[in-house]
Amino acid sequence: MSTTPSPSPSIQTDTLTQVVGWRRHLHAHPELSFHERETADFIHATLESIGELELSRPAGNSVVARLITGRPGPVLAMRADMDALPITEETKLPFASTNPGVMHACGHDGHTAILLGAVRELVARRDALCGEVRFLFQHAEEVNPGGAEEMVQRGVMDGVTRVIGTHLWAQLECGKVGVPSGAVTAAPDTFWITIRGKGGHAAIPQQTVDPIAIGAQVVTNLQHLVARGVDPLDSAVVSITQFHAGTTHNVIPESAELNGTVRTLDAVVRTELAARMERVIRGVTEAHGAEYEFIYERGYRPVVNDAAVTAELTEIVAQVCGREALAPMRPVMVGEDFSAFQQKAPGTFVFVGAARPIDGAVHPHHHPKFDIDERALETGVRIFVAAAERWCARGAL
């Protein structure tokens, strides 16, 4: 039987009202990665109130809801993350964070609300579905090693045939949807460098081995690795974001500490770049008589969208939102642990435009004035519902 998508799903008005309310509640009560206890309890209680679901708490503060139709068919997994960031909110929204120093500055409150809305709609449509729709509410996306890997290890992807996720995206106009093919997000690795020299009086520098001067050369030379060591057609970022040394104006310190991140899309580039970084650090420090310590920590895998699932989901989005809503989307060099789910089943990660100005500007993710256009929540719900209605349509086998 044909699996051509049916007309754009009509979402109940009260569902959309609930979705906005859920998002605002979550926004006002953010919790950091691995500490989302009240958030998880709220999700679990909301799912219980919807009913007709098999619920579990498989890992950390994650929640999984299974809509099991009892009819043979595929298992479609849908994922939303729930954690917030250590940022003091400056939006002045009426539902701004009530938790000092913690803020939903990345849209995860919206992701959770969208998935809860999809649950509500699909439970009401279960008689039209076959197989299973599995809803993954994930903890700790923002902090390595992330919650996705832990959930996968606990078996939440067992039997899944497709997995999809969405991200509200402030750099995309509301009403637009990006469905990238291939690489979507980067591997977000972290590094620490300690340079140990010889301290002394700042007025007698010839008697010292200055770790600050050496560190400055390390910073400069590391930038050449991307400019002259990576194919221009590949993508890589090396950013030094912290440089700590010294305590006063007239003392050259014993050591300097640097910290930063590396972002890559390709596995070979990722491995080679880490090795070349150490070669540069070793060469510069040895040339000046200093010693070094280099620690390199791998983060999440890159998110790579499956070609077949992406092609189908692109058509679903075109049908739900209109083909004119499809926006060309290049890879972004942020990290995302949705990639852990893609190791177990073919999957696609979609960006839903949610740009909303505050004080005359659209602020980027992880900014204290970040906010979303709440009209984007409906777009997210429609995409999830339409995907389930296509891939888990009763009689489609």
Active site residue ranges: 83, 141
Angstrom distance (rounded) from CA 297 to CA 391: 38
In the structure encoding, which two tokens stand for residue 14, read together? 């009260």
Contact 259, 216 (CB under 8 A): no
Distance of CA 390 to the CA centre of its chain: 26
State how far the Cα of 30 lies from the Cα of 12, in Å rounded to an integer.
27
| Residues linked to residue 347 through DSSP beta bridges, in sequence order | 163
Q: Which residues make Cβ contacts (< 8 Å) with residue 394, sequence separation at least 6?
A: 69, 71, 73, 127, 128, 129, 130
Comparing C-alpha atoms, which of 121, 90, 105 is closest to residue 15? 121
| Cβ neighbours of 204 (radius 10 Å) | 9
Cβ neighbour number for residue 395 with a 10 Å cutoff: 10
Is the torsion defined by CA of 19, 24, 30, 33 positive or negative? positive
d(CA 238, CA 230): 11
Query: Residue 288 and residue 284: Cα distance in Å, rounded?
Result: 7
CB count in 10 Å sphere of residue 82: 28
Q: Give the number of other Cβ atoms within 10 Å of residue 21's Cβ.
A: 12
Residue located via tokens 């219980």: 48
Name residues whose C-beta falls within 8 Å of residue 261's C-beta, 6 or more positions apart in sequence.
Answer: 188, 189, 190, 191, 237, 238, 239, 241
Helix (H) or strand (E) holding 188: strand 187-196
